[in-house]
Amino acid sequence: MCGIVGYTGPRQAYPIVLKGLKRLEYRGYDSSGVALLNGGLHVYKKKGKVAELEDTLIGKNMEGHIGIGHTRWATHGEPNDRNAHPHLSQSGEIAIIHNGIIENYAQLKQDLLAKGYTFKSDTDTEVLLNFIDDIRINNECPLEEAVRIALRRVVGAYCILVIHKDDPETIIAARKGSPLVIGIGKGEHFLASDASPIIEYTKEVVYVNDYEIAIVRPDELILKNLGNEKQTPFITKLDMDLTAIEKGGYDHFMLKEIFEQPTTIYDCLRGRLDAETGNITMSGIQKYAEQIMNANRIMIVACGTSWHAGLVAEYIIEELCRIPVEVEYASEFRYRNPIINKGDVIIAISQSGETADTLVAIEKAKEQGAIILGIVNAVGSSIARISHAGAYTHAGPEIGVASTKAFTAQLAVLTMTALMLGQQKGTLDRDKFLLLCKELAAIPEKAEIVLKLDSQIKALAEKYKDAADALFLGRGYNFPVALEGALKLKEISYIHAEGYPAAEMKHGPIALVTDQLPVVFVATKDSYHEKVVSNMQEIKARKGKIIAVITEGDTVTPTLADDVIIIPAAHEIVAPMLSVITLQLFSYYVGVAKGYDVDKPRNLAKSVTVE
């Protein structure tokens, strides 16, 4: 959630840190700040956008070759200047930035108050900082040692960067449950929550593991565990271009990412799916194919949009592989003491690969003998590393907070997985397997056709932008698409929207229907189509405003709907990758029409790395 940036080296740190904070704005935040060593330790921070912080620093001496910066998403303490990071210790000698939550901060704070410490903020971070400083002072030990001792006592999640006023070269960093990547330059190092602030300067990075401390100087990177044992840094080469994290002429990242989907779906399939020969190559999944095919059940854990992808996957895997599937909210799964048997298969879906609830859920499941498969976008992420196997979605960086291209890429990977396993297990006959391979391979080209509906969908958004509520309905494979459409509209336009299985409408939601309520039906041609048409008639009889996403050639639905969006025909198993694009565009244009910042919706963060 929060964004972290650090630099040590021969360049001026402030411009690098500031640009890095701007790169991380997509993660969601409410305040920002920087700390620099420049003849002393100087901290500048402010509630609001990074640009507002930048404005307050015009004319100030911002020189210095070491610096740390932070964008904060409030947890402990309201968003304001004093709760913004970085924080200074009571001694004034060390500064810290922190992503995560220290769960036992209240007890630590009481102990420090009893020693005479005072606090300038309401944050758990300032408590952690003074706890570190108290250890350093009383034990007369180096900062590195004080950090190590403190982190063995704290409970919770953290990624921290700490600097000392008398050490103009060293950043002490550590992580547990919150991401940290270190970029390796020539005589310089860059630190950040993800690779986006680093890619401009180097493609060689080290992903720091949980319970590791990094001592970072311009010409030196030392990794140690909390037992003070040196670890060997594993250097990874970033497969990312700077253009991937820039808007490229689009008004918003969200629109760019919606329009990237023909390419990202193709990239996801490329090298894995040969539709002509019916060959699917997924080495990460294949290694555990026997265990998956013989599993008594598969459990999918995810949050938000990834959970919706998991719901579609439930339908697909059960249909093609005949294996029972349960889809769980990771935030519930981790706390409800679920029954997990050795050999159960857990599929963890996450765009960032750092989602805190999903990460903890699979850690617990792994301890109980489950096989963990990770479906993630971010290479080197925590979920990717903790999983036994899995597959990357290859969607590229997703900067817009509302997930779009990650969702369709997840569906592409999950569909390929089900096809491969169903074919090997013998639950999917050869003819249907080949048909579905070709249907899947055709999605990128059909997605291009859907995107040509852009201007039509924009006009629809103008028509319905003043709605107070909206209902999204679908059945079968289209039910999770309805849920995703409702979520997008809520995220981007702040219109209250609900997604339901169309048949459940009569069990309550139909009471909401008036001539002012837009009801969006995901009504593409499938085995449920006649039933969906019946549900549509029930809405029309009550004068609801019907928007229908339909398949070309459908002559029945247009007679019932007020507005239709016609997409290319596709098999019902792969059609969600097309129909969802129309709902993404609709939500985007409603948000724009209402004047909102669709890339950074209020109160939301891109990567939820704390509970």
pLDDT band for position 384 (cuts 50, 70, 90): confident
d(CA 66, CA 12): 8
Report whether pLDDT(337) > 80: no
3-class secondary structure, 564? strand
pLDDT at 605: 62
pLDDT band for position 461 (cuts 50, 70, 90): very high
For residues 569 and 75, the model is more confident at: 569
Record: fold of 445-598: Rossmann fold (3.40.50)
All residues at 6 or more sequence positions from 560 whose CB lies less than 8 Å from its CB, including other chains: 533, 536, 537, 540, 546, 548
Query: 10 Å Cβ neighbour count for 69?
Result: 35
Per DSSP, helices labelled H in 403-524 are: 405-425, 430-441, 443-451, 454-464, 478-493
- Is the peptide bond prior to 86 cis by the omega test (within 30 degrees of 0)? yes
Dig out the tokens for 6 from the structure: 């650090």
Q: Which of 70-84, 309-323, 406-420, 546-560 shows the lowest per-residue confidence on average (mean pLDDT)? A: 70-84
Report whether pLDDT(396) > 90: no
pLDDT band for position 178 (cuts 50, 70, 90): confident
Report whether pLDDT(609) > 70: no
pLDDT at 351: 87
pLDDT, mean of residues 246-257: 87
**pLDDT, tens digit (0-9, with 9 covering 90-100), for 99-146:** 988 989 999 999 999 999 999 999 999 999 999 999 999 999 999 999
Report whether pLDDT(610) > 60: no
So where are the chain's domains? 3-243, 248-441, 445-598
For residues 461 and 535, the model is more confident at: 461
Phi and psi angles of residue 156, each rounded to the nearest 5 degrees, phi first: 135, -160
Answer whether 192's CB lies under 8 Å from 245's CB: no
Dig out the tokens for 611 from the structure: 């509970």
**pLDDT, tens digit (0-9, with 9 covering 90-100), for 470-498:** 999 998 999 999 999 999 999 999 999 99
Answer whether 520's CB lies under 8 Å from 564's CB: no
Percentage of the chain beyond pLDDT 90 is 66
Report whether pLDDT(83) > 70: yes
Domain 3-243 has CATH 3.40.140.10: no
Same topology, domains 248-441 and 445-598? Answer is yes
Report whether pLDDT(1) > 60: no
pLDDT, mean of residues 350-378: 86
d(CA 584, CA 487): 10
Report whether pLDDT(434) > 90: yes
pLDDT band for position 604 (cuts 50, 70, 90): confident
- pLDDT averaged over every residue in the chain: 91
pLDDT at 241: 67
Rounded to two decimals, the pTM is 0.81
pLDDT at 368: 87
- Tell me which residues are annotated as active site: 2, 606
**pLDDT, tens digit (0-9, with 9 covering 90-100), for 15-39:** 999 999 988 887 778 899 999 998 8
**pLDDT, tens digit (0-9, with 9 covering 90-100), for 270-319:** 999 999 999 999 988 998 999 999 999 999 999 999 999 999 999 999 99
pLDDT at 607: 57
Dig out the tokens for 531 from the structure: 């039933």
pLDDT at 526: 80
pLDDT, mean of residues 263-276: 93
Report whether pLDDT(161) > 90: yes
Amino acid at 454: D
First-to-last alpha carbon distance for the chain, in angstroms, is: 10
pLDDT, mean of residues 235-258: 82
CATH of 248-441, one of 3.30.70.580, 3.40.50.10490, 3.60.90.10, 3.40.605.10: 3.40.50.10490
d(CA 446, CA 449): 5
